Structure formats: structure tokens, C-alpha cells
Amino acid sequence: MAEKILMKGNEAIGEAAIVAGCRRYFGYPITPQTELTEYMAKRMPQVGGVFLQAESEVAAINMVYGAAGTGVRVMTSSSSPGISLKQEGISYIAGAELPCVIVNIMRGGPGLGGIQPGQADYFQATKGGGHGDYRNIVLAPNSVQEIVDMTIQAFDLADQYRNPVMLLGDGALGQMMEPVEFKATDTVPSIKAWAANGMRGRTQPNIINSLHLQPEKLEQHNIHLQQKYAAIQKNETRWEELYTEDADLILVAYGITSRIARSAMEKARSESYKVGLIRPQTLWPFPAAPFAKYAKTAKAFLAVELSAGQMVEDVRLAVNGVRPVAFYGRTGGMIPSPKAVYEQIVKTLKERGGN
């Protein structure tokens, strides 16, 4: 499929998963990601796959645990309140080191919140979310094409590191229609010698498990996980930067917000403000390196989010007090206009730009 077709973000995730070889999907309807669940209901039978509408998000993530443990590529998807319900299962999946892809098309919270776009699940996605010391790999696309590319990449990363990968989008990306191209993947499916898919001639049973009752063994397991996470940080951190080299002010935004920030940046550039943009494409591992670098040249940073300020904490950690880090966010499903972000740029430069 080389030609471009027009697709909605949510549906593009589904098709990309199928292109990536995912043939198992377990989910539960929730706005604003339901089109993905519906797409999988339609497509999975056409490709000989399994679609199952679970009784709850709790059940769906545990079905993912079962499927992933047998070695197949598997995905689930939900939106913020449903992702909260999945946290128990995600912790077990991380503990048992199972590869899977979890899609969160975020909406505003807390609680039932609303059904309009949000980015207030950043902490939950990147800092663990469930109990215990673990990390999800978190990918943050900002276009439908990137949704496709990152969904395919998510399955490869999950298999490579035996780790859950979360595709973190928002209601706006999920509903957005853009032309996309599905590039054939050249990934060779991993051999999963650890999978518990029936012994089938093996002499020793395989066990999928996150329980280690002896403290020495549990600590060793945690050390192993941390070493894996360090390798992921080293190898898989991704970001995009624009006009950063000469920037006095660097905007930081991911997902849908990065598109608004980019428009605001372009307006500011046309007004001769030296503004750049860093767009984390992996939220965990967070791209700390460019911040350390530009903290030496830029005068300030401005994080823009659809939250009360979550990613900004990682920006501050990365900048490490060398430069001021300002924040501008809207919540509740409100989306800032490029003009509003532009005004924040001017204000931040005036207050913290040093001129």
C-alpha cells in the first residue's frame, strides 16, 4: 500500500497494528478512542485475527497479558479513565516482561472528566502508573502519519525489549483525518523462546510470572529491569527540534500541542523573535540531552501542555535550574490557540528572556 489514503487517527492505529502483524486485540469502548475498537472489530476477522470486546478494561489488559505471554503480538486501547483501570495489568505485564502495545487516546480528567482532548495522563504514562518500579516506553505522535509509523515501531520495541509500549495520543489526534501511507515493515518477527504457548516438545515448562517471594531474587529482578530501562534510555530516546540553534526561547510540546506550538513559533519568527521548538517523540525515555545542550544557548524554555503542568517537570529536571522554565497549559478539554501560545512566547521572553 504505497499510495496515500485519508484516514482518521484512531483507525490509522488499527490498520498500522495489522500491518505490524498484530492479530489479537482486546478492548472496551470508551470515547474518544471508540473508532479504534470498532475498526478492530471490523478488520480482525478479515485478516484472520481475534477481536474481543472484554467485559472491562481490567479484563482486556489481562487478556493482553495472557496473549502476550504466549508470544503473539497483541494490542489494547482505551482513553484516560479506562487506562486507569488497566494500570494493575500493566504493572504485571511490566513485571513479567511481556511485549504488548497499549494505546491511550487521552481526554480531560480527573475522574470521568470530559471527552475532549487532554494530556493530563503524562505522569501516569511515564512515571509508572501502576505499582512498583517499572517503565513503559511511551511514544507521542503528532500526526496521523506518525501515528502509523509509531504504532508499527511500538510492536518492534515491545518485542525487542520485552516491555509494554504505550502510544500516547489525545482526542484531537484520534479524531483528526490526514493522508497516510503504510510503509511495509521489514522487521523479522522475534523468536520468543520464553513464551508459554504449550510445551510442544520442550523439556522444561515456561512460566509467565511477576512473583518473586525471596527478597534477593526480587531485587535481582529489579536490577535486571533497571538495566533494561537504562538500555532503552540510551538507544531509544527520540525527539524533533526546530530552530533551536539560535533560539532565545525554546518551546517544548508533544502530540497535538506541538502543532499549535509550531504555528505560534512560526508567527513569532515572522515577528523576529528567536523561538525554537523541541518536540519529544518518546516521553519515556524523555529526551533530556537537547535540554542540557540548549540550556547553554537559549535564555528560557516554555512548556506547553493540555494539562496543569506535567511534562514541564521533566523539562525542569533536564534543564536542571540552568535556565528558567515557564509553563502554559489549558485543561478540561480546552485547547489553546496559536495566538494564545504566541502571547505566552512574548510574555516569557519579556519576563525571562534577559532582554
Partner 1 sequence: MAEKLFSRPQSLKDVAFHYCPGCHHGIIHRLVAEVIDELDVRDKTIGVAPVGCSVLAYEYFNCDMFEAAHGRAPAVATGIKRSQPDTVVFTYQGDGDLAAIGCAEIVHAAARGEKITTIFVNNAIYGMTGGQMAPTSLIEQVTNTSPYGRNADSAGMPIRMSEMLATLDGASFIARVAVNNPANMAKAKAAIKKAFEIQINGHGFSMVEILSTCPTNWGMSPLEAAAWLEQKMIPYYPLGQFKAPEGVAK
- Count how many Cα atoms sit within 13 Å of the Cα of residue 303 in the half-sphere of its side chain: 24
**Positions in 84-123 near partner 1 (CB under 8 A):** 88-89, 92, 96
Least CB distance to partner 1 at residue 59 (A): 4
Q: Output 148 or 225, the one with its CB closest to partner 1.
A: 225
Choices 169-177, 193-201, 224-232, 320-328; region in contact with partner 1 by CB under 8 A: 193-201
Q: Output 44 or 251, the one with its CB closest to partner 1.
A: 44
Determine the Cα–Cα distance for residues 230 and 236; give it in Å rounded to an integer.
10
Tell whether residue 162 is a contact of partner 1 (CB under 8 A): no
Radius of gyration of the chain measured on its C-alpha atoms: 21
Least CB distance to partner 1 at residue 97 (A): 13
Please state the three-class secondary structure of 124-140 as a single string. HHHCCCCCCCCCCEEEC
Q: Output 70 or 190, the one with its CB closest to partner 1.
A: 70
Sheet-wide strand order for 325-329: 239-242, 275-280, 249-252, 300-305, 325-329
Determine the Cα–Cα distance for residues 267 and 143; give it in Å rounded to an integer.
21
Least CB distance to partner 1 at residue 53 (A): 10
Which residue type sits at 261?
A
Least CB distance to partner 1 at residue 253 (A): 36
Q: Output 207 or 308, the one with its CB closest to partner 1.
A: 207
How many other C-beta atoms can be found within 10 angstroms of the C-beta atom of residue 59?
17
Least CB distance to partner 1 at residue 65 (A): 5
Strand 239-242 with 275-280, pairing: antiparallel
Q: Output 44 or 173, the one with its CB closest to partner 1.
A: 44
- CA-closest candidate to residue 83, choices 120, 44, 43, 38: 120
Least CB distance to partner 1 at residue 225 (A): 17
**Positions in 60-89 near partner 1 (CB under 8 A):** 60, 62-72, 74, 88-89
Q: Is 29 helix (H, G, I), strand (E, B) or coil?
A: coil
Cell of 44: 480482525
Determine the Cα–Cα distance for residues 136 and 134; give it in Å rounded to an integer.
7
Determine the Cα–Cα distance for residues 15 and 28; give it in Å rounded to an integer.
18
Examine residue 32 and say whether the peptide bond preceding it is cis (omega within 30 degrees of 0): yes
Tell whether residue 207 is a contact of partner 1 (CB under 8 A): yes
Tell whether residue 210 is a contact of partner 1 (CB under 8 A): yes
Tell whether residue 196 is a contact of partner 1 (CB under 8 A): yes
Least CB distance to partner 1 at residue 25 (A): 10
Figure out which of the listed residues 58, 115, 322, 335 binds partner 1, where binding follows CB under 8 A. Answer: 58
Kindly state the number of chain residues that form the binding site for partner 1, as judged by CB under 8 A.
Answer: 39
Which residue type sits at 267?
K
Q: Which residues bind partner 1 (CB under 8 A)?
A: 24, 26, 50, 52, 54-56, 58-60, 62-72, 74, 88-89, 92, 96, 196-201, 205-211
